[in-house]
Amino acid sequence: DCPICLQTCIHPAKLPCGHIFCFLCVKGVAYKNRRCAMCRREIPPEFLERPELVHGIQDLCKTSATDDGYQWFYEGRNGGWWQYDERTSQDIEEAYKKGEKSCKILVAGFVYVVDFDAMLQQRQNDPSRRRHVKRDLATIPKKGVAGLRIDGNTVATDSEQRNDADRRENSNFISTIVATDAAIRIASDIIGSTLAHADEINRSEERQQNILPSLDILEQAEEIMESTQADNLASSVPVVVHPDLFSQTLEDFRSLTIQNIVDSSDSENEDEQIIL
């Protein structure tokens, strides 16, 4: 007998520690604390994917049915139908023939409610966990029995198939994240380059605007001084002026203007270096 349900073992499974339980019973224990119910030794994760059945694949090849040749099935996660284990199927069949609207079953440590009107199975404490059920001929094609399926010469479970699907889904999700991250980096680089180029153009325009007024002032000063010199030469009143006075004044003003332009440019370069 199974030490957990205290009934005859259904699909007896042997743990690495040597203790034997119903597969669904030990599956429920493994989901909660992953330790043997007898010796408390840890249950390895791969046990639920490749359990060691005492009777091997022969335990799954036997097809039980009701007197009229029918069996109960529940819907698989990825399509197809799984057959209930013999004891659970018998409990459902008895409630169904009594005309009850629903019945409760214990599967892998969880209580489920089977609704005969809606033909649904849902977990009692989590109604969102639901699957379709059906009553059909025992000989129809099925994925396996109670989450166990024949894989070559060994027995595998639904969890192994689900883990493979999860790994593929996670791989696709990671690939999507990498591609999105690369696209964001490229877009960020393009935006940064565009803003830097626009900023450089603005600084160039500002420097040009600072230089142009100084050049205009220099040209106006040259015109005024040349006009003044011409007026003095044309005047009838003698004016004593050093011959190089106008030229020297013009040169001094030109030097100051050019120096002002250079200082302005150097100041902008220093600001750029500080920013960088």
pTM above 0.75, yes or no: no
The domain segmentation of the chain, as residue ranges, is 1-56, 70-154
CATH of 70-154, one of 1.10.3450.40, 1.10.4160.10, 3.30.720.50, 3.30.420.10: 3.30.720.50
What is the C-alpha to C-alpha distance for residues 194 and 202, in angstroms, rounded to an integer?
12
Residue 153 is predicted with a pLDDT of 47
Distance of CA 173 to the CA centre of its chain: 6
Domains 1-56 and 70-154 in one fold: no
Kindly give, in sequence order, each residue whose CB lies less than 8 Å from that of residue 132, ignoring residues fewer than 6 positions away. Answer: 74, 75, 119, 120, 121
Residue 237 is predicted with a pLDDT of 47
Residue 100 is predicted with a pLDDT of 92
Q: Is 219 helix (H, G, I), strand (E, B) or coil?
A: helix
The CATH number given to 1-56 is: 3.30.40.10
Which regions of the chain are under pLDDT 50? 153, 160-171, 173-174, 236-241, 243, 272, 274-276
What is the C-alpha to C-alpha distance for residues 61 and 151, in angstroms, rounded to an integer?
12
